[in-house]
Amino acid sequence: MPSTTRRTALSVAAALLTGAAGCSGETSSESSYPSESTGNIAMDPEWRRLRRSDRGPLLWTGDRPTTTDDEGHVHARGHFFVTSADEVSNVGIAGVDGADTARAFLEETDYDSATVYVEHSSIRECFTTNLCHVEWSESDIKTSYAREYRDADVACETDARDTLATLIRIPAAFDPTDINGYGSSRGSASCAVRNDHLRQRRNESERR
């Protein structure tokens, strides 16, 4: 069982996404590969998704942020970790489709062997993303998504944007206190392709 002293109570990270800020457009792809080849990776981890069509908060810790708050926009791009069952009760979830599933996902996680990472992002209304993999180390965490069109019968406009929250069950218990680098990339290549590229890059760096 992991030490509760190592695993701090609740780590709220309101830092803006940094790793892929320059290349997280709808069609571009790929932020840089983390320098340390010893980083951990989970390919196709379990995840759940919430979505809303305004900038209001989807998941938060502590008091519910107000949507008129200047922080609202920041919140939409923020992220935090849930590292114990006790912390789950401190997580607020907006009343959107899938809220119950998200709550159950948090409650059913075995925090002795897993950590949930919650990441917010903004996306064009007609698109969605699939989580391909997550990489993390003691200081950094980075997610990779494949962008896809939503179904043809989903009514949406090209110039509108939605907020997404992704709950990622990372299959390892770890202390996120020292994580201060957050990155995310997305592109039009499928998860199979993106995961293959990652494997190739890691194989190459291991050979060096």
Partner 1 sequence: MTGLTRRRALALAGAVATAGCGTLSNGDDTTTLDGAALRELVADGSPTVPERIPVNISMTHFEATETRARDLLDEVPANLGPDAIPNGAIRERVRHAREHAVEAVERAANAPSDYERLDGFADARPEARFAAASWRAIDDGLTRDDLHSDATIVREDRQALRERHEYLGANPVTALVVHAAIERRLDSHIDTNRPSRYRAGNPLGVGELAEDIERARVAVDDAEHLYDRHVASLDDSSTLRSRYRAARETLRADFESERADLPSVDSERPWQVDGVDVSETPASEALEELYRPLDPEYELDWAEGSLARSLVRAHRAVVDLRAFESLRSRVADGERFAIESVDDVSAIRSETLGAVQSANADPAVPVLTRSVLADETDRLAGVDAELADADDEERATSLRYPVSTYLTVMARARAVPSASEHVASTLRT
| Shorter beta-carbon distance to partner 1: residue 50 or 126 | 126
- C-alpha–C-alpha distance, residues 17 and 35, integer Å: 18
| Shorter beta-carbon distance to partner 1: residue 1 or 152 | 152
| Shorter beta-carbon distance to partner 1: residue 55 or 124 | 124
Residue with tokens 């992704």: 166
- C-alpha–C-alpha distance, residues 45 and 131, integer Å: 8
Give the footprint of partner 1 on this chain (CB under 8 A): 124-127, 148-158, 188, 190, 192-193
User: Cβ of residue 146: shortest distance to partner 1, in angstroms?
Assistant: 9
- 75-106 burial: b if 16+ Cβ within 10 Å, else e: bbbbbbbbbbeebbeebebbeeebeeebbebb
User: Cβ of residue 53: shortest distance to partner 1, in angstroms?
Assistant: 13
User: Cβ of residue 24: shortest distance to partner 1, in angstroms?
Assistant: 18
User: Cβ of residue 156: shortest distance to partner 1, in angstroms?
Assistant: 5
| Shorter beta-carbon distance to partner 1: residue 85 or 189 | 189
Residue 84 contacts residue 4 (beta carbons within 8 Å): yes
